[in-house]
Amino acid sequence: MSTATAASPVKAVTRSRLFWPAVVLAVLLVANLAFTPDFLAVRLQGGHLYGSLIDILHFGAPLILVSLGMTLVIATGGIDLSVGSTVAISGALACLHISESTDPGGLATVLTAVGIALGTALVLGAVNGLLVAKAGVQPIIATLILMVAGRGVAQLITDGQIITVTSDPYKLIGGGYWLTMPFAILLSALVVVATVLLTRSTALGLLLESVGGNPVASRLVGIRAMRLVALVYVFSALCAALAGLMVSSNVSAADGNNAGLWIELDAILAVVLGGTSLNGGRFSIGGTVLGALIIQTLSTTVYTIGIPPETTLVFKAFVVITVCLIQSPVFRAKLAARGARTRRTARPHAAAPTNREVGA
């Protein structure tokens, strides 16, 4: 008994949902030290912070935002494939407005551009939300429509060209510095903190989890599931639009074809890595942020080591399938059964998988 109590603080740490993602991230960062000894160094130069860690946070900021929206969508048992297209559309709209205005450097122009991008995202998210919540279309299919059409729309907006803009206030969003930190990091941190407060300090998070866990039961206890589900798609689209502004602002250009390409897959990967189950019902925003940072660190590592960046896809494939297998109750039951058999202990019924499906 005494050993159990002594081990409990350690156990509490290892049992935490953030433990394994944090370990993976730490291992990746330490592994980088072997290739670049000053990897963890952060230095102040000309009032700006520089270093690989800052770079990871800086370039990971759009992915963190998109993954954040995706986390809430997945918590309700849905999925949003259209975020990549939304990233492209919002960047294209903002850059188009700035490039056509008479005063591209003006604060009013930039604010209007941001407003246009976010407003459009609101509409796109609402369409997704209505299709899923009101029309009852499977989320993967409903958002597939925008995923297919969205890139066409983005190219229509930019007329197939890459629109370049020169505007200092717009450059700030994704490429500028504020209080020695890249502004993008501060912006995404702000959104993450606000979302954590909103979901964990109010009942909103609990309601989202109950809708994802069992839609029928939550409707029966009087939760307005439809409105909540529609809302998370709007939130996801807004996050994606903000990420789109960052991406286009960082390079001062909008590319309808390549902006946000595959970001939906990276975002889903980040959410899964962070320990949020794809079946819905529970979510961890901290885990998602760690997941997004793992992916960004992986990309950075691949670049610094000099492996062709395209082959990261192979790593990602194995990561996805491993994480999903670990999350699968059947797989765990089989593993437990095998472990029990080798240890010759009699445990015939190792956690039979329960069917959570409830009618309708």
Partner 1 sequence: MNAHALLTRLRGQLPLLVTAVLLVSMFSVGSVQYDGFFSGQVVLNLLIDNAFLLVVAVGMTFVVLTGGIDLSVGAVVALSTMVSAWLVEQHGWPPLLVIPLVLLMGTAGGWLMGWIIHVFEIQPFIVTLAGMFLARGLCYTISVESISITDPQYTATAQTRIPLGDLFVSPSALIALLVVAAGFVVLHYTRFGRNVYALGGSEQSALLMGLPVQRTKTTVYAISGFCSALGGVLLTFYMLSGYGLHAVGLELDAIAAVVIGGTLLTGGSGYLLGTLLGVLVLGLIQTVISFQGTLSSWWTRIVIGALLFVFIVLQRLITARRR
Task: List residues binding partner 1 (CB under 8 A).
Answer: 79, 131, 135-138, 140-142, 144-153, 155-156, 159-160, 256, 265, 268, 272, 278-279, 308, 310-318, 320-321, 324-325, 328-331, 353
The least distance separating partner 1 from the CB of residue 280, rounded to whole angstroms, comes to 11
Nearer to partner 1, 131 or 231 (CB): 131
Nearer to partner 1, 203 or 307 (CB): 307
The least distance separating partner 1 from the CB of residue 84, rounded to whole angstroms, comes to 11
Strand-pair partners of 254: 163
Nearer to partner 1, 52 or 76 (CB): 76
Rounded Cα–Cα distance for residues 168 and 292 (Å): 28
Nearer to partner 1, 27 or 321 (CB): 321
Give the torsion sign (CA, 133, 134, 140, 146): negative
Rounded Cα–Cα distance for residues 123 and 114 (Å): 14
Cα dihedral 129, 135, 137, 139 in deg (nearest 10): 10
The least distance separating partner 1 from the CB of residue 1, rounded to whole angstroms, comes to 37
Nearer to partner 1, 8 or 138 (CB): 138
Evaluate whether 28 touches 298 at the Cβ level (below 8 Å).
yes
Nearer to partner 1, 181 or 278 (CB): 278
For 332, residues 6+ apart whose C-beta sits below 8 A from its C-beta are 326, 351
Rounded Cα–Cα distance for residues 292 and 191 (Å): 15
The least distance separating partner 1 from the CB of residue 8, rounded to whole angstroms, comes to 32
The least distance separating partner 1 from the CB of residue 210, rounded to whole angstroms, comes to 21
CA distances to 88, 251, 282, 300 from 109, rounded to whole Å, are 20, 18, 41, 34
Tokens of 195: 């979302």
Which uninterrupted H or E stretch holds 70? helix 52-75
Rounded Cα–Cα distance for residues 266 and 296 (Å): 9
SS3 50: strand
Nearer to partner 1, 112 or 327 (CB): 327
The least distance separating partner 1 from the CB of residue 272, rounded to whole angstroms, comes to 8
The least distance separating partner 1 from the CB of residue 250, rounded to whole angstroms, comes to 24
Q: Where are the beta strands (DSSP E) in the chain?
A: 43-45, 48-50, 162-164, 177-178, 181-182, 253-255
